[in-house]
Amino acid sequence: MLLSGNVIIVTGGASGIGQECAKAYVKEGAQVAVLDLQETVPDRMAGDEPVLYVQCDVSDEAQVAAAVEKVIARFGKIDAVHNNAGIASPSKTLHDTTVSEWRRFMDVNLFSIYFTTKYALPYLKITKGCILNTSSMVGEIGQAQHAAYAASKGAVNALTKSMALDYAPMGIRVNAVAPAGVWTPALRKWATEQPDAGSIETYLDAIHILGYCPGGDVVADACVFLISGKARFITGCIMPVSGGAELGYRK
């Protein structure tokens, strides 16, 4: 198993891509700590010995600091942090986005990485572990009606590369995955907010040149690789997991 003996923190791991990643990490032998805002422990995680579920608002520094200590108390170490928690709604242009909405995007999508890294870094230095961020293809190419979201993910990409430079001397790798469309509860909600909601499913299938909009398991497979020793010489990489969508996304 590729992750045998690893302790991995996954933020936003109670649903969507994060949940698929948590499942994949456990399958590959890891012990997983899920940090999520959801108060009710998902049925799949209740009583699951390799999984520690911590109710946590990852945009709150004190809560993240406390959550990291709970992970250490339970498992004794941290080998990887997967910063997956993020929001994509509401979908608006910059001038239509309120100040509170803009701040919430940055707090959840960007500040959370700052907090998890700040408090997990002392433990990652010991294990010479790694950090993985969930970004998005729109962080590179932009997207209409998504000013705050695209800005936050563009920042995640730049931050990933800067962190890779800073932490390489410590033996810590830092990478990101950049999906296009992925069917998750968040994407379902996003679809209802679009001007032509009825055609969204067909649209999302069409933009991926491999022919379909996938589930989160395809992203999880890439994340397992990037966290594992198989990717031991990869850092500062923003890996597309997009079915080739970026090749024809503007059509």
User: What residues act catalytically?
Assistant: 149
> What token pair was written down for 174?
């830092």
CA-based Rg of the chain, rounded to a whole angstrom?
Answer: 17
Look-up of token digits 């100040």: 99
Cβ atoms within 10 Å, residue 210? 12
What sections of 38-109 are H helices per DSSP?
61-75, 99-106
Backbone angles phi, psi at 36, to 5 degrees: -150, 150
Give the Cα separation of 118 and 186 in Å (integer). Answer: 27
Q: Name beta bridge partners: 176.
A: 133, 238
- HEC string for 125-157: HHHCCEEEEECCCHHHHCCCCCHHHHHHHHHHH
